[in-house]
Amino acid sequence: MKVLITGGSGFIGSHLAERLIAAGEEVFVIDNLWTGKLSNISGIQSNKRFHLVVDTILNEAVMNELVFKADQIYHLAAAVGVRNVMDHPVETLDINVKGTETVLRLANKFKKKVFIASTSEIYGKHVEHSLSEDDNRVMGSVKKRRWAYACSKTLDEFLGLAYHEEKKLPVVIGRLFNTVGPRQTGRYGMVLPTFVQSALLGRPITVYGDGNQTRSFTHVMDVLDAITRLMAEPMAEGEVFNIGSDKEVTINELAQRVKDLTQSESEIEHIPYEKAYGPGFEDMERRCPNITRVGDLIGFKPSYDLDTIITSVIEYFKQ
């Protein structure tokens, strides 16, 4: 089978490319290397079944050729990371909205199955309970650019479902909750690699806000299990699935566990959101998925616990 991965030299995409190559598939990757890195795919770049195109998904001529060749598409390319969203709101909206529209339109042209990587940010400021796929969303003001990413990915979901319902395009949507693991960088505001790097270098482990906000972390290998099995399941088409761990941890607890597992002398310090991201920044107080739907359909259950996840990130940065 021939598979196209948009954003395939990024953190998740490169792991997916490796897995598909190992399974005997032919893999085509397109990446503009904004957040992706060639070093992420160095282990497979010489494989005769691996093909890399360094370009943007907004280049329709290039995308037309790649989509035509592919049997399946994993659409992972996006502007990601809180820092990126805050610093580059125009690029965020361009890539996340226009890029997804291009992928879906061409996929429909050639009737190719598509996985769309969405995000837990979709839920906005929802805090009442573990988040289910059909819950209402609670967005902040359009004046707060923090919500540009969530709104762009919301439109991606609407587009994907519209193509499925109106055009009968086979589309699967996965909302990813804090996917972490080797190769993820802290450069764009990802919390776990930032904490680990600081701890290993003996620098302060910086927690934004009071640290009582909660998150749930999922190892990239568990996420790959979920998305590849969903793509192989016809009943997943036209549906949205939370993909993540239902085990919550506060950011304060995460910082302490990183400190303990690295045996670091680093201090844990708190700074206001405004100092990190500017005035008016808003964050989510809680983000934990209900994973009943994906569990019922494909038997998904995360296999990596938090300490194992943190240890894998520590070993990556030590190397």
H helix intervals, 30-116:
60-69, 82-87, 89-93, 99-110
Catalytic: 123? no
Beta strands in the chain (DSSP E): 2-6, 26-31, 50-54, 72-75, 113-119, 171-176, 179-180, 205-208, 214-215, 218-219, 239-243, 249-250, 268-271
Dist CA 122 CA 37 (whole Å): 27
148 within 8 A of 93, measured Cβ to Cβ: yes
19 within 8 A of 232, measured Cβ to Cβ: no
Q: With H, G, I as helix, E, B as strand and everything else as coil, classify residue 198.
A: helix
Which of 149, 163, 208, 277 is catalytic? The answer is 149
313 within 8 A of 196, measured Cβ to Cβ: yes
Dist CA 308 CA 110 (whole Å): 42
- For the annotated catalytic residues, the residue numbers are 149
